[in-house]
Amino acid sequence: MSKIAEKLRSKGICNEYYIASNGNPIIDLHTPRDSRDVTVPAVTLSIKGKKLTGADISWYQGGAKWFIYQGVDERKAAYQKAFDWIEKRFPGMKMVKSPFDRFAYVPEEDLKKALGGE
């Protein structure tokens, strides 16, 4: 575990949801849990405190936008689509990799705030 993650955990912050401020995006990776899980692998984009809706968001997506992929190359493209979606709606927002060793991203300004301005 990284030193940044250890510092966040000491403050009671244990995942990306607790780093992001209300109204800000979080990018995460969804993989099926087991052979009975009928959902597909996807890069998920959620907005803390808000359920996304629209014609391209299904009930099983839990209020998040899913960028579905198959294989590593498509996964990279799905992440890029998620970053493009954020850039369109949150111009200039810089997303950084999660300190919790996961395939997740959070807003840089929220991570700095969670670390106490460091």
SS3 of residue 111 by DSSP = helix
| pLDDT digit string, tens, across residues 94-106 | 999 999 988 999 9
The DSSP result for 45-86, as a single string, is EEETTB---STT--GGGTT-EEEE--SHHHHHHHHHHHHHHH
Res 117: pLDDT: 72
Q: What is the pLDDT of residue 5?
A: 93
What pLDDT, on a 0 to 100 scale, did the predictor assign at position 1?
62
| Nearest in space to 45 (alpha carbons), one of 99, 92, 100, 90 | 90
- Write down the pTM of the prediction: 0.87
**Cα 72 to Cα 16: distance, rounded to the nearest angstrom:** 23
pLDDT of residue 106: 97
> Residue 118 has what pLDDT?
62
CA separation, residue 109 to residues 4, 21, 93, 106 (Å):
15, 9, 8, 9
Q: Which residues of the chain have pLDDT under 70?
A: 1, 118
Domain borders along the chain are: 3-111
